[in-house]
Amino acid sequence: MNKSIFLLILLLLFIPRALDAQKQKTERAYAAYEAGSYFDAIDLFKDVYSKTRDRQLKADMVFMVSECYRLIDDPRNAELWYKRAVRSSFPRPEAQYWLAESTKKLGRYPQAIEEFRKYRQLVPGDPRTEQQIRSCELAMEWQASPEAYVVEELKEANSRDSDFSPAFGRDDYGLVWFTSSRDDARGNKEHGATGQSFTDIFETRLDKKGKWSTPVPLDFLNSEFEDGTPSFSSDYTEVYFTRCEAGKRERKGCEIMYSTREGTGWTDPVKIDLVADSLVVAHPALSPDGQTLYFVSDMPGGRGGKDIYRSTRTSPGSPWSRPENLGPDINTRGNELFPFVREDGTLYFASDGHIGMGGLDIFKATPQAGDGWIVDNMKVPINSPEDDFGITFEKEAEKGIFSSSRKGRSGDDLYTFEMPPLLFSITGLVKDEKTGQPVGAAIVQLIASDGANLQTETGAAGDFRFSLRPEVDYIFLASKNGYLNGKEKETTRGQDKSREFMATILLTPIDKPIELPNIFYDFGKWDLRPESMVSLDKLVETLNDNPNVTIELMSHTDSRDTEEYNMDLSQKRAQSVVDYLIGKGIAAERLTAKGYGETSPKVVDEAIMKDAPFLRLGTTLTEQYINSLDNDEQKEIAHQINRRTEFRVLRTDYEAAK
């Protein structure tokens, strides 16, 4: 037989076998993927990719490797492979979406926005796109202005594997149970979805030195399968947790187990019947009154991936009711997981469907009348671009533990968090209103809505300082001989971050008349115009702040009429101001009206020069001088300066009759 013919026959025999082997590998890869064994499926898909020349199959394998990396929560490799999928010969639009999502999860928000915009061009009608772009914008804002929580890694409890979903096991918060896939786990099989051991429940204890002990597994609760996400009753006599009988190449349901304390031990766990065995029922969270059980499920009729449900009972030991979906305020087309309920009914949960920073974020849901909820993202530093979930609190305190993959490791870690006490203070300056110079040795009085009343004296630099309390309104009243009292207001109400306030209190000297700005009358009239009231109301406040002062109200006109007419008009205008002040509750004996007509023209000072630089400093604005100005506009400005209302202090020892 010709040698070339022989080789051709061998090749024809080999090709079907090679194609058949390739088909079997592809089927094995997809079978692992469908069973949720994403970690195992990665190598199988990569193997098919490396050995095929079929461009369509190569593109499919690249996309499937990308999907597996995303599903095992490896955004770095997911981004790398989605980029290849987008550039492949047969790109899928969803590859562009998940490329953007992976970039977002890596915290590269500007780049993620650009990738989402590319996806919007491919799929204009997808409602997720605008939400994701808005999420990236908000995430950058939250990073720029983080919440006041102090977050620290709980290093003593963490391992190289996944450690997550903590729960306090005692009312002194010195015992914590949590979920871990570390080597000590009883389930020694490797999980096909993560490549790590099956999880178990571990405990760690706080010693007298404030250190957490080396975690140990709870063999009396753990099984050969996946065990985790514990939740205690408020008296710590009941515990609920999740058990998943995960297979190597098949999906099996998860169920909620229950155990009660017996002396120093616990009873054998029993299953709670809530849904069909083939469905996922996981992440239990018992309400503080023990009557409501929140949990996660993928049962039919939900709103998306996994939803949060609740079931109720009438008393301990009674059956649980039919599960109720928490509705659209809580559940989205994404996944809602790891619920936790506080004493006041506030629900905390993790979600990748609400607007968040990337991956799972922790949300706070406040119950409203009816079945509604107000849902808020807990923001930075509780949340990060990666997965943040499984939070627990020390009852009323704003502190506890949560889990996060923020370090970019292959597993999750535990983190403590605490809202430090709010600290407020005010640093102020007392200055001369005319000169801007500091006023030393002034008395500053603090008057608080909680009854506090303190006093201090300013230093040579006019400075003062007080410590403040949360949720209190403050008035700071400054006084010194030769000045009218001045004041400033501040409040710590609604402040959720520690802050140092700054204040400047201006004191007005009483050695010269004090002009009242923006007091207006119609031409030839003495009735106050409405826009004058703002300035006069401030004068009312000044007189109330200076109850021992009596004043003379001084009205001045320009020189463009007879002296007799101007004197009469100015007297009526001064009296109209006095009448207004009396109507506002100021005692009549504290007020004197005096019209000066055109007899006291203004002397140009630096303040006047700023608005009328054509005038000469120190010049008296007499009729003769005004008539010498260059044009009518300048003359009108000068006349307006002369038309004014002022007051001067007559006495500082007035006492109201008793």
Query: Does 611 score more than 90 pLDDT?
Result: no
Predicted confidence (pLDDT) per residue in 13-45, tens digit: 444 555 566 778 888 999 999 988 898 999 999
The per-residue pLDDT for range 124-167, each reduced to its tens digit, is 999 999 999 999 999 999 999 999 899 999 999 999 999 999 99
Across 569-589, b (16+ Cβ under 10 Å) vs e yields: bbbbbbbbbbebbeeeebeee
- Give residue 13's pLDDT: 45
Say yes or no to pLDDT of 187 above 70: no
Residue 6 has pLDDT above 60, yes or no: no
Question: Which are the contacts of 515, defined by CB distance < 8 A and separation ≥ 6?
Answer: 644, 645, 646
Residue 67 has pLDDT above 90, yes or no: yes
- Angle CA 523–527–528, to nearest 5: 100
Over 80: is that where the pLDDT of 478 sits?
Answer: yes
* pLDDT confidence of residue 515: 85
Q: Are 268 and 258 in contact (CB under 8 A)?
A: no
Which tokens sit at 426? Answer: 């005010």
In the sheet that holds 175-180, the strands lie side by side as 163-168, 175-180, 200-205, 216-217
Query: Do 285 and 348 form a contact (C-beta atoms < 8 A)?
Result: no
Q: Name the residue with tokens 């004296």.
A: 457
The band of 189, judged by pLDDT with boundaries at 50, 70 and 90, is low
**pLDDT at position 193:** 55
How much is the pLDDT for 533?
85
201 close to 217: Cβ distance less than 8 angstroms: yes
Evaluate if residue 276 carries a pLDDT over 90: no
Higher pLDDT, 2 or 389: 389
Q: How far apart are CA 99 and CA 104, in angstroms?
A: 9
Model confidence at 250, pLDDT cuts 50, 70, 90, reads: low
CA distances from 426 to 375, 423, 439, 538 (A): 34, 11, 18, 24
Q: Is the pLDDT of residue 580 over 50?
A: yes
Instruction: Report pLDDT for 25.
Output: 84
pLDDT digits (tens, 9 = 90+) for 360-373: 999 999 999 888 99
pLDDT digits (tens, 9 = 90+) for 220-247: 999 989 999 999 999 999 999 999 986 5
Per the structure block, which two tokens stand in for 186? 């009883």
Per-residue pLDDT at 21: 67
- pTM (two decimals): 0.74
Q: Are 402 and 386 in contact (CB under 8 A)?
A: no
| Separation between Cα atoms, residue 169 and residue 175, nearest integer Å | 5
pLDDT over threshold 80, residue 508? yes
Residues 6 or more apart from 110 whose CB is under 8 A from it? 136, 140
Annotate 6-26 with three-state secondary structure: HHHHHHHHHHHHHHHHHHHHH
DSSP-assigned letter for residue 361:
E
Question: Residue 441 pLDDT > 80, yes or no?
Answer: yes
Contacts 24+ apart (CB under 8 A), 629-637: 637/611, 637/612
With 60 as the cut, is the pLDDT of residue 589 above it? yes
The two tokens of residue 77 are 């490799």
pLDDT band at 97 (very low <50, low <70, confident <90, very high): very high
Q: What backbone phi and psi angles, to 5 degrees, belong to 13?
A: -75, -35
Of 2-6, 203-207, 607-611, the least confident:
2-6
Q: Are 595 and 615 in contact (CB under 8 A)?
A: no
Entry field: residues in the chain: 658
Average pLDDT over residues 472-497: 94
Using alpha carbons, select from 84, 93, 51 the residue that is nearest to residue 65. 84
Domains detected in the chain:
3-144 (1.25.40.10), 150-418 (2.120.10.30), 424-507 (2.60.40.1120), 514-651 (3.30.1330.60)
Between 461 and 12, the higher pLDDT residue: 461
Pairing mode, if any, of strands 550-556 and 591-597? parallel
For range 312-335, the mean pLDDT? 93
365, 345 contact by CB (below 8 A): no
Give the span between the Cα atoms of 178 and 169, in whole angstroms: 10
